[in-house]
Structures are given as structure tokens and as C-alpha cells.
Structure 1
Amino acid sequence: MQQITAGIDAGGSLIKIVYQENGRMHFKKFSINKLDSAISWLKMVAPSLKVSITGGKAFGIQNCYFQDSALIPEFQATCEGARFLLAKENKSIEETYLVVNIGTGTSWHLVSGEKAERILGSGMGGGTFTGLGSLLTKVQDYQLLTVLAEEGNKGNVDMLVKDIYEAADSPIHGDLTAANFAKGKKLNHKEADRLAALSNMIAENIVLLTSQAATINRVKSVVIIGTAIIGNQSLKHGLEYYLNMLGLTTVFLEKGEYCGAIGAYLSV
């Protein structure tokens, strides 16, 4: 029986699996609440299996399911996966760049050639969007939240620069945010508007931290990965818009949410 190698990335919200069979790489993800189903599925499709695991819940999975597996440091796996995908997807980028991993929270990594270092972290990310979004609306489902955010108008909730300057000339772009949620007491906004403002606030904060990290480390290229931008067009557009405004080259990887799992897989 042919032995199949697999990489597992077990995070706070999702478990992501990468394995290769017959020369083709396969990708699969499950909610972390369906861990048993995920492992059962993997063992069914690959009865003879060699595994490496990364992520916050890696030790628990190793202990319960794959005692002979290897544990790979999460940040190492993430950057290895990003480096692999940049080459696989033929993305042209400078040798030194930032990897911004937006999952439940957000991590920043400085990559230079074969070297990689985590330089920054924030509690603002996909978990913020899901958790705070469900408090601002009656919606609990992540995908429905992303759809609503795309439909909303942040200007109905956020105070914009043009709201302050009105007819006067503004020293900066009028559509930039002067104060997040400053119009929150007004009644003429909808759930979609609140979610658009939330998505914008997350994007702005991530971009501000990215800009500072890029300036300090003298880099111009940013690779955005992570589960929080998958299907979340409002967040993705916000990130791209602000990063481009700051003159940073932005790269979104097609399979970026699987960087950790790919990095684990490559170590098998």
C-alpha cells in the first residue's frame, strides 16, 4: 500500500489538511468543532499515512490521533508554506518581504531568503469580525456576515474625513476614516452598514501595523494569507486599497489559507 504524506494545521477555528496523491496536492478544511470527522475522513482517504502537524492544537491532535507524527513550529510552517506558494503560483516578489497571516488573530513575519522571523502580532482578525459582527447584528454565520459586509456602506456608521471638512478642501482623501463607528448613535444605518464599518476598522488597523512594520524593516512587498480573507471581499478590498495607497506591493496567494498545512507537509 502506497504511503501518503500529509500536513495538518490545527488553528483556533479551523483544521486545514494538505496531502499529495498521484503527484497532485489536495486541500481540505473543517471546523475545529468537527475534528473527529476531519481525522476520520483523512484516515479513510489515506489509510497508510505519514503526518506532520502544526498550529495551536497540534499537540492535542498528535496525542489523540497520530502519536508517531512530527510537530512543526507554527510560524516556521507558515513561512515555508508562503515561500512554496509564491514559487508555485509564479508570484514575482522582492527577496525580503512581509507575510501577514490573518486568521483568528493576525501575525506578521519578516521573510528574507531562507530566513523568517515573527515580528508582530495582534488580536484583531477573523475572530474579531465573526465575534463582534455577531454582536452588532443578528447573524451568526461567517459567510452570511461577509455577504452583508459587502453590501453595506461604512460611511453610514463611520465618520469620514469629508464629513468634517464638508465643502472645504481636505488635506487628505475625504473617504478616509476620521473616527470608526462615530455615527453609531444615529438610527439611519443597517446591519450591513455596521458590518462594512467593522470590516473597514479591521482592515485599517492591520494596514497601519503593516505599514509600520514595512517602514521599520525597509520592505515594500506584503504577502497576505490566512482564512479571514477567504470569501471576505470587503476585508480583502479594504486591505488592498489601503496598502496600495501607501505604496506597498500586495500579493494575495490563491491557497494562502493553507500555508501552515503546506509547511507542515513539506517537512514530512
Structure 2
Amino acid sequence: MDNRIGIDAGGSLIKIAYEENGRLHFRKQPNSELDEALQWLKIIAGNRSFYLTGGKAGTIKANFFPEANIIDEFSAVCEGSRHLKMKEAMSGSAPYILVNIGTGTSWFTVDGAEYERVLGSGMGGGTFMGLGRIFSEGDGFFDLVSLAASGDKSNVDLLVKDIYYPEKAPIDGELTASNFAKSQEITSSSPADKMASLNNMIAETLTLLTVQAASLHNIKQAVFIGSTLAGNKPLQNSLETYCRMSGIEPFFLENGEFSGAIGAMLS
């Protein structure tokens, strides 16, 4: 595979995977730096072949690498996740729900070499970034993640224990009864509190859809990938908690955000 470069050009980021001496290397840059990334690629390319996937693959082929091969986005991301999962020796060949959290989110069933896209949602990293800019002055992904980690969602969300107070709640009182429902407190809550609530709302929504997809296809395992998870420990922790609470075994692939680029390279 040393003679191949895989590129996943998505809605927000360009992700690159290539192999040297049997070792995978990765690089990612925002689409605003697309020209810089592709100029760098031309420098290291040598006689390598390019394999493109993602929404902007056609544009990159037309403007930069006319000899490149375009790979179907869904097959690339599933193949890449399968490769990474095998490298990490995760639960053998059991079927799984693949949850790709990028700008939006897609769900797939993966069973051996067979895969099927079963669901999609506009809830994802684009939601986190867009609402994050409304809720705070932070304009970078990691700034917003840091705010979410330091905030308290209970200052914004109506919790089950709030509804039942002073009585004891019949279920876990820390669970969300309604996101962003403390309307009187929202104006005085901090940007960090709002970001914590937003991160939690995304986690709850994606878990709910994951559990529904898993139940429909009788699958007990979910594999999470995508750029929105990279460096976002609060989101990962919430997804893990809610999945386990719902009877789903969650896995988070190291370098999972590069699944599409890896799958394109391996095609």
C-alpha cells in the first residue's frame, strides 16, 4: 500500500491516510486550508496513486488530481472501520452498528464484508460548532470542547430530579427530562454550561438513534468514529454511559476519524 494515498474530503475537514514501511500515517486540515493540504500532497506524492472519497472528491479530482480514483463514501468508511477494528482486535467478527459522527451523522450495519446505511441525522459536529458559536465567543473546536468539559448542564437542562423534587424520582434523577428547558436560568447561565448542555443533547440524541438501529437489526455492539469525537472526551464519555445504560456495548476506534481515507486507500 506504500504507493497509495487515501483522501476523505468531507463537509468540514480533509483527512489523509498513507502508508510508509508498513506504518499508517495521518493528516487532517480544515477545508479552508484545502489548497495548502493539496500542495503538500503534491510534494510527497512521488509516483503514488490517489484514491478519493467524500463530498468534495469530485472537485479535488477535477482541480488537482485528474488521474485519481473516486471511491464510494459509504463503502470507504465501512472498509476503513473494519480495518481499524481488526487492528485493535475488537470482538472478532461480530456484526456492529457503525456510527460516523462528522458534520452530520450516519449509521451503518456492518457484518463481515456486508454493510448497509440504515440511518442519517443532521445532528453532529456541525451542530456542535454552529450552536457553539451562538452560545460562546469560542470559534475553535477545542475551545468549545474545553468549555463543555468545564460546564454544568444542570444549570440549563431540566433534570428528572427537578420534576420530582422534593420527592424521590422513580428513575435516575440525573437523567435529562428536557434539554435547555430551564428557560428562566438560560440567560444567566455561563457559556460553559450551555456547551455542556449542547454536548449532552448531541450524545443523548445519537445514543437514542443508535439504540433504535441496533434493536431493529438485533445487534448489541456499536462502533463510533468521526472527527467530532477526536479530542472530545466529554462527548465520548456521555455516549459510552448512555449506550451501556441501554444495553449496547460501545467501542471508540483510535484514529477512527480517518476511516474514510483508510478505506479509500485500501479499495
TM-score class, shorter: over 0.9
TM-score scaled by length of structure 2: 0.97
Instruction: Tell me the residue number matched to 1:66.
Output: 65
Q: Which residue of structure 2 aligns with residue 98 of structure 1?
A: 97
Report the equivalent of 2:129: 130
Cα deviation digits, residues 96-127 of structure 1 (max 9, x gap): 11000000000000011110000000000000
1:169, CA displacement in angstroms?
A: 2.5
- Give 1:68 deviation, angstroms: 1.1
Deviations 1:168-225 (A, max 9, x none): 2322210000010011431542110000000000111001111111111110000000
Aligned counterpart, 2:35 = 36
Which residue type is aligned with residue 195 of structure 1? M
The one-letter code sitting in structure 1 at the alignment partner of 2:201 is M
SS of the equivalent of 1:263 reads helix
Matches within 5 A, 1:53-202: 53-93=52-92, 95-186=94-185, 187-202=187-202
Q: Would you say the 8 A contact 2:98–2:109 is kept in 1?
A: yes
- Please, which moves more after superposition, 183-192 or 75-84? 183-192
* Inter-CA distance 245–28: structure 2 relative to 1 (3 Å threshold): same
How far apart in 1 are the matches of 2:56 and 2:123? 20
* 1:8-61 deviation line (CA, Å, top 9, x unaligned): 000000000001122221100011111111111112122222011000000000
Instruction: Provide the C-alpha distance between the structure 2 equivalents of 1:232 and 1:29, rounded to a whole number of angstroms.
Output: 16
Partner Cα distance (1:198, 1:94) in 2: 35
Separation in structure 2 between the aligned mates of residue 20 and residue 191 of structure 1, nearest angstrom: 42
Q: Give unpaired runs (5+ residues) of structure 2.
A: none
The normalised TM-score by structure 1 is 0.96
**Distance across 2 between alignment mates of 1:25 and 1:3:** 9
Residue 2 of structure 2 contacts residue 18 of structure 2 at CA under 8 Å; is this kept in 1?
A: no
SS at match of 1:185: helix
Q: SS at the partner of 1:203? A: helix
**Structure 1: any 5+ residue segments left out of the alignment?**
none
* Equivalent pair of 2:102/2:226 in contact (CA under 8 Å): yes
**SS of corresponding position for 1:86:** helix
Q: For residue 260 of structure 1, what is the amino acid of its counterpart? A: G
Which amino acid counterpart does residue 202 of structure 1 have in structure 2?
Answer: I
**2: distance between equivalents of 1:63 and 1:46?**
17
The DSSP-based 3-state class of the residue aligned with 1:227 is coil
How far apart in 2 are the matches of 1:97 and 1:195?
A: 30
- What CA distance in whole angstroms lies between the structure 1 residues aligned with 2:184 and 2:56? 41
Q: Percent identity?
A: 51
SS in 2 for 1:95: coil
| Matching residue of 1:21 | 20
**Distance in 2 separating the partners of 1:180 and 1:247:** 23
Paired residue type of 1:5: R
Partner Cα separation in structure 2 for residue 23 and residue 130 of structure 1: 36
1:258 matched to 2:258: yes
What is the aligned length?
266
- Deviation of the 1:137 alpha carbon: 1.2
